[in-house]
Amino acid sequence: MSEPTPPSTPTSPGRIPHGPFRAGDQVQLTDPKGRLNTITLHPGKLYHSHKGAIPHDDIIGSPEGSVFRSTGGTEYLAFRPLLADYAVRMPRGAAVVYPKDAAQIVAMADIFPGARVVEAGAGSGALSCFLLRAVGEHGLVSSYERRPDFADIARANVEKFFGGPHPAWRLTVGSLEDALTETEVDRVVLDMLAPWECVDPVAKALIPGGMVCAYIATTTQMSRVVEELRGHGAFAEPYAFETMLRSWHVEGLAVRPDHRMVGHTGFLVTARRLADGVTPPLRRRRPAKGAQNPEPGTPAAT
């Protein structure tokens, strides 16, 4: 029976490891072609590849940003993985929220240190990690996941990244509609198939001025959740958007967009909670040309 892996955090779970590499740390090794390999350090073990081996003992005790040469002569750059790196490579049950969307959720939903956040569903735990980073140890992220198998994967991924159970995280197996018990919540993040079904319980849980943020995949989902928020009466006008990420190749005078880009991954819809009893102002928008019947005797727009 193997020994349990020691936690990689120097003090309490939830703190980000720093300083020299230690046994139990995750290390990201990058070869000269930019290929990444993530390993967990164990005394006496070797990292093996077709380009040779590197003893874990050589890495343990070295500072981040060190270079190690394999027995085959290939140099590897060693860093602890960033959360963005970890999220896209973690074991998956459900699809993960990509870092570009997680960053937008943290920014546009205004997730702040100490915030009380409800998340549905937890999926594979990627977004949970970003939310926990944002609220800190004195906030609360209460995640709901319908599927027990996904909840197990999410718990394992979150605890592996933070080196143990995070003090600000509570994971509940069950649907948000049936299991939500929180009140006076600052933010609600919905990453689920039918977020419009949760608008009423979300409105009851949020404080006035609180915010809901829905992450959806398709335009039909986006349209439905926007119309549900508008029709509910407890929310200000929703804001719907998406983000695209394009990296660039920069090599001397050869400066151009990369041939591949992370295009559409999902849409985001945000809305603010109104005070109880307040009726939202009527929206005033200029109608599109030809959207209304013309005056008698006036030719229709073409």
Q: Measuring CA to CA, how many Å separate 285 from each of 42, 252, 282, 288, 295?
A: 63, 49, 10, 9, 20
CATH code of 122's domain: 3.40.50.150
Residue 70 annotated as binding?
Answer: no
Residue 119 annotated as binding?
Answer: no
Q: Are residues 69 and 153 in the same domain?
A: no
Q: Are residues 140 and 258 in the same domain?
A: yes
Distance between CA atoms of 219 and 228, rounded to whole angstroms? Answer: 14
- Expressed in percent and rounded to 5, the helix, strand and coil fractions of the chain are 25, 25, 50
Asked if residue 118 lies in contact with residue 181, where contact means CB atoms within 8 angstroms, the answer is: no
pLDDT at 129: 96
Residue 127 annotated as binding?
Answer: yes
Q: Are residues 112 and 162 in the same domain?
A: yes
Q: Are residues 125 and 255 in the same domain?
A: yes
Token match 């190749």: residue?
249
CATH code of 71's domain: 3.10.330.20
User: What are the structure tokens assigned to 178, written together?
Assistant: 């049936």
Asked whether residue 302 carries a pLDDT value surpassing 80, the answer given is: no
Distance between CA atoms of 55 and 71, rounded to whole angstroms? Answer: 9
DSSP 273: B
pLDDT tens-digit map of 96-123 = 899 999 999 999 999 999 999 999 989 9
Asked whether residue 8 carries a pLDDT value surpassing 70, the answer given is: no
Q: What's the domain range around 187?
A: 84-272
Helix axes 126-135, 148-162, angle to 10 degrees: 50
Q: Are residues 127 and 169 in the same domain?
A: yes
pLDDT tens-digit map of 170-201 = 999 999 988 898 999 999 999 999 999 999 99
Asked whether residue 82 carries a pLDDT value surpassing 50, the answer given is: yes
Residue 190 annotated as binding?
Answer: no
Residue 294 lies inside a defined structural domain of this protein: no
* Counted domains in the chain: 2
For residue 78, give the nearest of 56, 45, 48 by alpha carbon: 56
Residue 172 lies inside a defined structural domain of this protein: yes
Residue 18 lies inside a defined structural domain of this protein: no
pLDDT at 13: 52
Residue 300 lies inside a defined structural domain of this protein: no
Q: Are residues 191 and 228 in the same domain?
A: yes
Cα atoms in the 13 Å half-sphere on the side-chain side of 209: 2
Residue 191 annotated as binding?
Answer: yes
The mean pLDDT of the chain is 89
Asked whether residue 4 carries a pLDDT value surpassing 50, the answer given is: no
| Dihedral over Cα of 18, 20, 25, 30: its sign | positive
Q: Are strands 116-120 and 140-145 parallel, antiparallel or unpaired?
A: parallel
Q: Are residues 52 and 174 in the same domain?
A: no
Q: Are residues 203 and 215 in the same domain?
A: yes
Asked whether residue 11 carries a pLDDT value surpassing 60, the answer given is: no
Distance between CA atoms of 268 and 141, rounded to whole angstroms? Answer: 19
pLDDT classification of 19: cutoffs 50, 70, 90:
confident
Q: Are residues 173 and 206 in the same domain?
A: yes
